């Protein structure tokens, strides 16, 4: 009995930590890092071509060395780029690494030694766990932090789009039975100026119309204070002036603090605050962003496996079939691009958020299974 347990323990240890597994992890990781580095350099080059003049102006205006702005900017952009492209790096890295391993006969030797499919994929599964943790952290924490750090730095596209400021145009906010029009102050202390509030918009007639100079949140949830108010109750033509008025509106301060910000760029604390609102108010963009963070850790593993399975199909015996490999790489790239297509469908409420975020993962795993079965 003890000998049997020791045998099983040795087999398990060999499977999880054996030489073949360690070599596979190193091969796949090296290839993924190389592809990610190439993609990062290309993205940096394009970004700097557009923004380098602005970086130089900022260094002159602030009277600081250029590197004190350039290096932090590149770091923040690197986090954003890695979050977007790590899945692509996983697919192409695994694809090229598997071709290399096949040309070196490593996978051929393991197959000839009657290695199980689990042993052949053990290295990829280890790397999937490591990169899954990385992708989950990037999506939920580090990318939003990098975006808002770039806003604070004051240079680049995010700084222009998301900077705290008074918006230069009146905005509309529609929440269930209430519509609000005014100029939003997007900041940690949000407010709206020159406000018009319309209640009862879902009915045949409006219940009340309020015009106020200022609208600010109170310490009570969903309670907002209107200052310098003129109100028009239903059926009344003359306005009734009052100094202050408190209204219950299903509106949270974060909706103004991050007004116009794409929801997947929100800090997690702010994003999950939107869940206290009804679904029809928070919108599909919020639920899709939340599900993106919940499922991010699965993406690297699914596309590592897809890259390996497609690369294995590009051989006839020991002969590498170049046209087939090119076609398989293009097919895998289409599935990688489909990730963002499904996310867009979720944000547009065409697909439910769980379906939109899991569809590309399921598609990648299904393609891997079909290709592996066809190969056998």
Taking residues 309-334, what's their average pLDDT? Answer: 86
- CA-based nearest residue to 277, from 359, 161, 174: 174
Give the number of other CB atoms < 10 A from CB of residue 226.
Answer: 24
103-157 residue pLDDT tens:
766 665 555 544 545 556 677 888 899 999 999 999 999 999 999 999 999 999 9
Are residues 174 and 207 in contact, defined by beta-carbon separation less than 8 angstroms? no
Of the chain, the percentage scoring pLDDT greater than 70 comes to: 88
Mention every residue, 6+ apart, whose C-beta is less than 8 A from residue 294: 357
CA angle 145, 90, 105 (to 5 degrees): 155
How high is the pLDDT of residue 113?
47
Give the per-residue pLDDT at 319: 78
- What's the confidence (pLDDT) of residue 5? 47
Residues 6+ apart with CB under 8 A from 190: 184, 216, 217, 253, 256, 257, 259
Residue 293 has pLDDT above 90, yes or no: yes
The model's pLDDT over 201-211, given as tens digits with 9 standing for 90+, comes to 887 778 888 99
Task: Quote the mean pLDDT of the chain.
Answer: 86
Coil vs helix vs strand at 117:
helix
Separation of alpha carbons 151 and 188, rounded Å: 14
Tell me the range of 6-20, 52-66, 107-121, 234-248 where mean pLDDT is highest: 52-66
| Residue 115 DSSP one-character state | -
Residue 42: pLDDT over 70? yes
Q: Report the alpha-carbon distance of residue 345 to residue 355 in Å, rounded.
A: 10
The predicted pLDDT at position 9 comes to 47
Report the range of poorest mean pLDDT among 144-153, 239-248, 268-277, 332-341. 239-248
Q: Is the pLDDT of residue 249 over 60?
A: yes
Nearest to 305 by CA among 46, 126, 138: 126
Q: For Cα atoms 335, 44, 293, give the angle at the middle one, nearest 5 degrees.
A: 45
pLDDT tens-digit map of 344-367: 999 998 999 999 999 999 999 999
3-state secondary structure of 173: strand
User: Taking the model in full, what pTM does it have?
Assistant: 0.87
Phi, psi of 143 (to 5 degrees): -65, -50
* pLDDT tens digits for range 47-83: 999 999 999 999 999 999 999 999 999 999 999 999 9
- The yes-or-no verdict on residue 11 having pLDDT over 90 is no
Mean pLDDT of 304-325: 85
Q: What is the mean pLDDT of residues 230-257?
A: 83
The residue behind tokens 């990730």 is 339
């Amino acid at each position: 009995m003890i000998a049997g347990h020791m045998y099983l323990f040795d087999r398990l240890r060999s499977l999880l930590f054996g030489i073949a597994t360690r070599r596979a992890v190193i091969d796949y990781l090296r290839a993924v890092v190389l592809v990610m580095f190439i993609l990062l350099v290309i993205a940096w080059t394009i970004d700097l071509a557009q923004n380098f003049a602005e970086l130089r102006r900022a260094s002159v205006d602030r009277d600081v060395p250029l590197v004190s702005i350039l290096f932090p900017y590149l770091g923040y952009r690197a986090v954003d780029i890695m979050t977007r492209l790590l899945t692509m790096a996983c697919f192409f890295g695994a694809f090229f690494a598997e071709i290399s391993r096949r040309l070196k006969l490593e996978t051929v030797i393991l197959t000839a030694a009657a290695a199980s499919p689990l042993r052949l994929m053990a290295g990829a599964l280890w790397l999937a766990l490591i990169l899954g943790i990385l992708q989950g952290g990037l999506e939920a924490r580090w990318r939003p932090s990098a975006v808002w750090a770039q806003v604070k730095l004051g240079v680049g596209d995010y700084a222009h789009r998301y900077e705290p400021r008074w918006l230069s145009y009146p905005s509309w906010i529609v929440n269930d039975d209430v519509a609000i029009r005014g100029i939003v102050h997007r900041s940690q202390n949000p407010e709206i100026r020159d406000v018009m509030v319309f209640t009862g918009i879902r009915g045949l007639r409006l219940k009340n119309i309020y015009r106020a100079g200022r609208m600010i949140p109170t310490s009570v949830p969903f309670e907002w204070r209107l200052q310098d108010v003129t109100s028009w109750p239903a059926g009344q033509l003359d306005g009734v002036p009052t100094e202050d008025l408190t209204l219950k509106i299903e509106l949270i301060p974060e909706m103004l603090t991050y007004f116009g910000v794409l929801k997947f760029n929100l800090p997690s604390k702010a994003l999950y605050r939107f869940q206290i609102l009804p679904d029809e108010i928070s919108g599909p963009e919020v639920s899709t962003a939340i599900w993106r963070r919940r499922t991010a850790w699965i993406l690297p593993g699914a596309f590592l496996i897809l890259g390996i399975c497609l690369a294995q199909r590009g051989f006839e015996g020991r002969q590498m079939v170049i046209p087939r490999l090119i076609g398989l790489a293009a097919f895998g790239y289409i599935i990688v691009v489909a990730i963002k297509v499904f996310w867009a469908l979720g944000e547009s409420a065409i697909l439910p958020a769980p379906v939109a975020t899991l569809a590309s993962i399921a598609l990648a795993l299904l393609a891997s299974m079909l290709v592996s079965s066809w190969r056998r």
